[in-house]
A and B are shown apart, each in its own frame.
Chain A
C-alpha cells in the first residue's frame, strides 16, 4: 500500500524541487516588490549576472565547485545515516593541508605539488572529521553537536595560526605569503587559452574537474561497491545492518572520513585554484550551503551537481543583483538565498502531499 505522498521519480527529482524553487523565488519577488524594486528586473539581473558573460559563468561554476565538494560530503555521510554539519570546519582544515603543501613545496613541479595538495586536503579534512566520528562511534556523542563544535575549533585554530604562525611577516592582514608557482591549480581561462580558446578570467579552475571526478567516484562508491552498499544499509536501517554483520562503528568512521576528505577538497578549489594563499574564513559558509545542496540534490551526485549549479548561480547572480540594484543590499541577497534553502531544504515537503494527491487524482481519472 503506498504511503500518501510518494511521488513518481520524475516528480520527486524534477517537479518538486522546481516547485520549491519557484515558491522561494515568488516570495523573494514579493520582498523585492516591497522595497520598491521590480521583481522581474531583479530576476533578469540575477540570471544575467550568473550566466550573462563568460566571467559570470566562470564565477558561477567556481562557486558551484565548492558546493559540489561540500554537498557530496554531506551526502556521503547522510547515506550512512550520519548528519555531518562540520563540512565548514573540515573544508577550513582541508585548506590548511593544501596551504601547508603550497607553502612548503610551492617551488616544485605542479605535477607533484597539485596531487600532493589534493591528498593533503583530503587527509586534513578527513582527520578533522575523524574525531567527531570516533566520538560518535565509540562514545555515542551526538555528531551534530560535535561537528558544530569542531567548526568553531577549526576557525579558532586557523585564526591563531594565521595571526601568529603563518602570517606573512610585516603585514597587517592575517594571510600567509603566496604559494610558489608549483602550487597553483591552472584556471580554466588559462587552460583554454593554451589551446587557443579565449575565455574571460575568473577563479574558475581545474579543481572543477576534480569535483566532477568526485561526483563519479562517490556514485561508484555508494551504488557500485559493497562498502557503499553496507553504508546505505546502515543509513537506511541500522538494525538490518546489525543483522547483516555490518559494523556500525566502522561504517560511521568510514563515512565520516570520506565526508571530511570531500569537504577538505574545497581548499583545493579556493586556495590552489583561486587565492594562492591561506586566508581567514575562505570557506565562507560553503560547508553549510552543502547541507542545502545535498538536501535538494536528494543526496545523489547528479542532483548535487544540479543543485550546486543552482546555488553557484544564486551566489553569483545575487552578488550581481546587489551590485546593480542599489536597494537590494547584501542582506536582501542573503534573504533570497535563505528562502531558497528554506523551501528546497527545510520545507521541501510542503508541496509533496498536495502534489501527490493531484497526480494521484489525475492518474486515477485517467484510468477510469
Chain B
C-alpha cells in the first residue's frame, strides 16, 4: 500500500458512506442525536478533496495529514477518534515506503488502540469499537498466517458485519446513547454501522483490484 492506494480507499469510503445515508441517519435518530451522518459526510468530502496533496506524500505522511484534517473538520466525538486512529497509524508506519500486509495490520491495530485510549472505551460498550476491535484482531491473525489479501478482505467483511450486529443487544455505556439505559437495546449503534460500511468499502476495493 502507498499514498495512491490510500486515496483510492478514501474515495471508496466516501461513496459507501453517501450510499448509506438513510441507514446511518435512521440509527442515529433512534438512539443518538442526529448529527453522525452529517459529520461523517463532512469528513469524507474533505479527504476526497485532498487527493492530489495526499498522493504526493509517503503513506505515513498521508495518514497523518488525513488525521490532522479530520481533527479540524469533523468535530464531535468522531473527529478526535478518527484523527487519533489515523495519526497513530501514521506513527507506526513512519519510515516505511511501501507497506506489506502485516505492517498494515499492525498499524490498524495501533489505530484502534488509539481510539480506545482517546474514547476511554472498550469492546462491548455499543460503539464503533465493537466493529473495529474484532476486525483488528482478525486482520493481524490472518496477516501473521500469511493469508492472501483476497482471503483477508473476505473474512474482514464478515467480521465487521458480525461486530455490527453484536451491538444490537448491548447496553450503551459510552457515547450519546449511554444516557438511555435499556432503551438503547434492540438498536444497532450508528458509529458501528458507519465503521462497518467503511470496512466493507475498503475490502471491496481490495477484492476488485
Do A and B associate with each other? no
Residues of A whose CB lies within 8 Å of any CB of B are: none
Residues of B whose CB lies within 8 Å of any CB of A are: none
